[in-house]
Amino acid sequence: MTVAVNAQAFAPLQFAGVNIAGFDFGCGTDGTCIVSNAVPPVYQLSGVDGLGQMKHFVENDGYNVFRLPVGWQYLTYNRSTGVLNETQFSNYNMLVSDCLSTGAHCEIDIHNYARYNGQASDRVSIIGQGGPSNEIFAQLWYNIASYWKNEPKVIFGVMNEPHDIPNIYTWAESGMISLDACFLFSLLTIWFHDYSSVTAIREAGAVTQMILLPGNNYTSAQTFVSSGSAEALGMVRNPDGTFTNLIMDVHKYLDYDNSGTHAACVTNNIQDAWYPLTTWLRANGRQALNTETGGGNVDSCVGYISQQIGYQAAQSDVILGYLGWSAGSFATNYVLSQVPNYNGTGWNDTLLVSMAMSPMTNMLVASVV
């Protein structure tokens, strides 16, 4: 099968960047986050120069967005609540402030997989279904958004990689919500999480910023449409009934099992993931941001990532951009490291960044075109 590129006039991608990880260290797919395992990418807290990395990426690579993962437990200091711990939140805000000082957009990402302190295959830890209530989750986002409500370059990433979420009928059976005509579809429960979070963020006063809506199956771009995530999230609206700045949040890796745990890349994802997703987005007037992608620092990933970014740029009316995984507090020998190396006088990028992901190399992003 040959996939044709849409014949629209070329326009560059709006965003390119990288995750600045560390506040999420200790978080697992079961929603457990061991706070003591966090390694904040803030020099004053850990010796990791996250600000130096971000300034380098902006000034030398043309990046203009950073994703800042953090565990829910870190922000509330191990309390299943929406109330922020003043000290912990202040620590995290140091990273956000560093990010904003570069002039880039900065995404707040709750890195809990739609869970809180459970087992990866156990649904009782899921938000709103045995785990924290939807009201608590909405309170968390209300408090976060209240702090940055007047900062136009803050992006709100509702939740990192939900997975194994039951369908909408489970909510009806548990009495969480009632069914009406518009819900008579086989849709995902993640809809309700995102809907309540969007309302909370907007009611906190953050009425214009982007909000990223994640789907099921680790918000995989490949299954975003086929799983029903796209249809479910397409129904989420702002309180005024619009979907302005409600952006689909998708991830996609290039290794053989899409896990992002192997150095070698085997696909550009165009036929299986990006073509069906962009087709749906365009047909429904929606947009998506690829907030995690990457591979090892090997030639196969340089080639396939370049092809993926090229296709995304050809679809820039519906794909806003990409963020690599990951820089920040990772060791430089981490299999998917995009951590630049400081040589005493300057920063040296990894192979994948320098040869494929840097806008200064691919010239496909608005920040450098």
Tens digit of pLDDT for each residue in 319-348? Answer: 999 999 999 999 999 999 999 999 999 999
Q: How many CA atoms lie within 13 A of 30 on its CB side?
A: 10
Backbone angles phi, psi at 117, to 5 degrees: 50, 65
Measured in degrees and rounded to the nearest 5, phi and psi for residue 71 equal -80, 140
Reading the block at residue 232, the tokens are 């479910």
For CA atoms 162, 168, 172, 178, the dihedral sign is positive
- Is the peptide bond between 326 and the residue preceding it cis, with omega within 30 degrees of 0? yes
Six token digits for residue 319: 């794909």
Pairing of strands 65-70, 15-21: parallel
Find how far residue 17's CA is from the centre of its chain. Answer: 11
Q: Which residues are catalytic?
A: 161, 292
Q: Residue 270 has what DSSP assignment?
A: I
Structure tokens at 170: 């489970």
Mean pLDDT, the chain, integer: 90
**Degrees, nearest 5: CA angle 24-40-100:** 95
CA atoms lying within 13 Å on the CB side of residue 8:
14
Beta bridge partners of 109: 69, 157
Once rounded to an integer, what is the mean pLDDT over residues 241-269? 97
Confidence of residue 120 (pLDDT cuts 50, 70, 90): low
User: pLDDT category, 127, cuts 50, 70, 90?
Assistant: confident
The 10s digit of each residue's pLDDT in 11-30 is 999 999 999 999 999 999 99
Position 359 confidence tier, pLDDT thresholds 50, 70, 90: very high
